[in-house]
A and B are shown apart, each in its own frame.
Chain A
């Protein structure tokens, strides 16, 4: 069975600084997707960034980038130039590319950006 672990329950960062959120996962699958979702306070969860496991190049979306280490089963999220609007819960998620299409989420990291 797949598992996703986020070992940092809470983090804080100064505005304009860079922060990295950690995520590790466990799977015997070779093909899968990894995701970071953001849940702002009292607002809907949205997708931040997605990575296909077969792609070696790390995904990037504006100020958000990932460090995907397939052998180490690590998938960290880097937020550059942090903004107050980045304050949110961040969830790491895993999904196989075939079969059940079931998402496995981590327990989340609460990030607070300080002015």
Chain B
């Protein structure tokens, strides 16, 4: 089974621009979560989508948004980029919340390294 994939792997943007990151979950997984990882802050939860609906949301400003498609692929968008948005953005998929799901383990992608200049 193919793992979680994220595109692009690296991205350089300037302040004020917007960016869209993509995540393809493991086949059959309906839950996709997004995290921002920065040194010293660990993983900060952005949001989780399940069956095209946002099921959970973290404490990030409205500039951060996401969506999920019918094939469970998910995109994350950041508008009006700020220097502080530079981070590794991780996507994780799981069967959590589905009957017979494989027990809450999250499977992570390699991440997208975003640099804002």
Residues on A lying within 8 angstroms of B by beta carbon are 6, 9, 33, 35, 37, 43-47, 50, 91, 95, 100-108
Contacts and interface: CB of A to CB of B under 8 A. Distances in A.
Nearest to A92: B42
B115 interface: no
B93 to A, nearest CB: 12
A44 B4 CA distance: 10
A46 B106 CA distance: 8
Contacts of B106: 37, 47, 103
B112 interface: no
Nearest to B88: A39
B117 interface: no
A95 B50 CA distance: 16
A103 B33 contact: yes
Given A33-B104, A47-B105, A101-B31, A107 B42 contact: yes
Contact of A50 (B50, B90, B105): B105
Interface in B30-58: 31, 33, 35, 40-43, 45, 48, 50, 55-56
5 contacts: A35-B105, A44-B4, A45-B108, A50-B105, A102-B56
Contacts of B56: 100-102
Contacts, number: 53
Contacts of A35: 105
A45 B104 CA distance: 15
Contacts of A104: 45
Nearest to A108: B42
Contacts of A43: 110
Contacts of A47: 105-106
A91 B104 contact: no
Contacts of B41: 107
B103 to A, nearest CB: 8
A108 B38 CA distance: 11
Given A45-B90, A91-B43, A106-B42, A101 B108 contact: no
A105 B43 contact: yes
Nearest to B3: A44
A104 B90 CA distance: 14
